[in-house]
Chains A and B, each alone.
Chain A
Amino acid sequence: MEHLGPQLFNGLVLGAFYAIVAIGLSLIMNLTGTINMAHGSFMTLAGYLAYTMVLRGTSFWFALIAAPLIAVIVGIAVERTLVRPLYRREPFYSLLMTFGLSLIAEEAYRLIWGANGVPFAPPPALNGALGLGFMVFPTFRIFIVLVLIVALIALALVLTRTRFGLRLRAAVQDTEMIAALGTNTQVLYAVNFGLGIFLAGIAGVLAAGMLGLSPTSGNALLMPAFVTVIIGGMGSLFGSIVGGLLIGVAISMTTLFVPAASEVSMYVLMAVVLLVRPRGLFGEEGIFG
């Protein structure tokens, strides 16, 4: 049982990752019904940009913010030109479109940064382990949790305390009404998409430091993020947080007790949730009825 503590912590770190990716997905899905299969590609993009920046001599801290911002610019450009025309169509089309984009992106990364994985290390200050007597935590993981918490609080403040957040939440409820009341919904869509990509970008840079960076690495996190959205409930950001943590813990606990089932555990969890409570733990009825 001495592994329970560390394993629980690790499950939570993993879960926090899934949560932040899932929230980005969820933001985009809620407002526009777009299932963004290219979300993982944007994570990888931010990771590679941060890698290049650090290689050129900028600090890790600068890259942690700047790389996701550049990914946001690319993201908004993609949204304006390719995704926007599909908003009034069935979700299949944006799914097909973004899947196509993710194929193109993977190949583009291979062309630009090479097929080989590249080394991307967190700065030395974050590279040790923190001993707490009874267990040891790698510093970078604690840092990851802190960054993710800050990002989530910031997001919550944006959504609840700003005019933009208010409009966004209103638009999710009734886009036509908010448009009639004079809000430029096109700007809202673009900014919302950018916000989702920004979260993906942050997660992408952190994941590059923890898990390694290669043209295919971001896509590995995509499926768990989708499962997170489903378990937490579509339409609920709080649900995504709970869902992510739940999956993280489920994976780490099955790893410890039933190793053979660790990969399949999140899918089983998802199937159970869908059967018992299809809208997810905190989801709203009606979205994607």
Chain B
Amino acid sequence: MSGRAALAAGAAVLVVLLFAPLLAPLVKLDISIVSEVLLMAIAAMGVNLLLGYTGLPAFGNAAYFGLGSYGAALSVTYAHVGFAGAVAIGTVAGLLGGLVLGPFLLRRRGIYFGLLSIAFGQVFYFVAYRYTDVTGGEDGMNIVRPAVEGAHAVVSDSAFYYVAFAAFVVCLAAFRTVVGSPFGRTLVGIRQNEPRVRYLGLNSDRFIFVALLLAATMTGLAGALFGLLIDFAYPLELDWHQSGDFVLMMILGGGGTVWGPLLGACVYVIGKDIISTITPLWQIFLGALFVACVLGFPRGILGTLEAAVRRRDAGRFTDDDVNAAFDPNAPVEVGRGA
């Protein structure tokens, strides 16, 4: 029964999103910021796959995001491709980034994987920053949003929203399928006990590599669409701060849950947008949000509430409960939320 209820609730969220272009203006939100929420949710999903499920601290995912963004922007500027072509090229750029970095990243686990990710990410950042002739360097590069191939109409901001929505639904479906599949269960197994997975005869490196490529592709797609949403590509998209934002969104929403990244992206992007409009002191509130999240919602908003409901014992966590989201030895139901 509750499985059906969850499905219904998920469908309800998707229906709300489907009508967002009509609903958002009622609460004075621009539809493009809702598009951004969906794109950030896709990127946070990429972190979720690596960190939330597989236990690999993906601290450098902005590299794929920026590759996607620059891939789209450069192909529009220099090859004059259409909208779909730009999205495709950006997504492939993200995938290629994963293919290039994967073999190096695979060699390390734990915090070292995270640090290595940051290091490689920064290399991409400085390339974009320095290669002024091609990328515009620090100033970034303007693009004019191209028309869809064959059609001559420019993609309007509301039409764009549905592109982002479609991308989100595809990624969400893929994500659910992946984490619910034997492959996804193996990823969770790797997080819990990698030596045992290897002992069972599975080449964990190969699983991690595929997960990495999936995350890189998704993040590249998000980056390409983000570049086309704001009609701009710039080096900060590749910086470690951007990677950090993705991780924060995932943790905020709830790591290791299917819907956590969406919730996290929603709270982070819209919260920041609203607070920074109300007060120039928004950083204080954003900082306080992190502090409150750590103290009050240690497993992310969704993860904490979920656990609270399950135990009917809200607010009485032990630290071990809190760590369970990341603890390799904690009992975790496989394919949680799927």
Contacts and interface: CB of A to CB of B under 8 A. Distances in A.
A271 B104 contact: yes
A103 B238 CA distance: 20
Nearest to B104: A275
B252 to A, nearest CB: 9
Contacts of B110: 288-289
B283 interface: yes
B225 to A, nearest CB: 27
A89 B283 contact: no
A221 interface: no
A101 B294 CA distance: 12
Contacts of B293: 96
Contact of A275 (B116, B298, B319): B116
B5 interface: no
A85 interface: yes
Contacts of B207: none
B322 A93 contact: yes
A111 interface: yes
B271 to A, nearest CB: 13
B284 A270 contact: no
Contacts of B240: 223
A278 B108 contact: yes
A285 B122 CA distance: 26
Contacts of A289: 110
A34 interface: no
B286 interface: yes
Contact of A107 (B104, B284, B298): B284
B295 A85 contact: yes
A99 to B, nearest CB: 6
Given A264-B122, A275-B107, A89 B298 contact: yes
A274 B326 contact: no
B301 to A, nearest CB: 13
A146 interface: no
Contacts of B119: 227, 267-268, 270-271, 274
Chain A interface, DSSP helix/strand/loop, else mixed? helix
Contacts of B248: 96, 99
B123 A89 contact: no
A92 interface: yes
B281 interface: yes
B283 A106 contact: yes
B187 to A, nearest CB: 18
A121 B284 CA distance: 30
Interface residues of B, number: 40
Interface in A46-99: 82, 85-86, 88-93, 96-97, 99
A14 interface: no
Contact of A230 (B115, B287, B289, B298): B115
Nearest to B116: A274
A268 B115 contact: no
B295 to A, nearest CB: 7
Nearest to B327: A90
Given A92-B326, A270-B119, A275-B107, A101 B287 contact: yes
A86 B119 CA distance: 27
B323 A90 contact: yes
A120 B183 CA distance: 58
B115 A274 contact: yes
B283 A103 contact: yes
B244 interface: yes
Interface in B102-123: 104, 107-108, 110-112, 115-116, 118-120, 122-123
B190 to A, nearest CB: 15
A176 interface: no
Interface string B228-256: 00000000000010001000100100000
A93 B289 CA distance: 13
A274 B108 contact: yes
Given A97-B291, A274-B115, A274-B116, A103 B286 contact: yes
A102 B298 contact: no
A96 B294 contact: yes
Interface string B270-288: 0000000000010110111
A104 interface: yes
B283 A86 contact: no
A270 to B, nearest CB: 5
Contacts of A108: 284
Contacts of B118: 267
A117 interface: no
Nearest to A99: B290
Contacts of B126: 263-264, 267
Given A97-B295, A268-B119, 8 more contacts: A96-B251, A99-B290, A100-B287, A103-B287, A107-B287, A263-B130, A267-B126, A289-B110
Interface of A: 82, 85-86, 88-93, 96-97, 99-108, 111, 223, 227, 230, 260, 263-264, 267-268, 270-271, 274-275, 278, 288-289
Closest 6 CB pairs of A and B: A100-B290, A103-B287, A104-B287, A88-B319, A100-B287, A271-B119
13 contacts: A89-B323, A90-B327, A93-B298, A96-B290, A99-B248, A100-B291, A263-B129, A264-B123, A267-B118, A267-B120, A274-B108, A275-B108, A289-B110
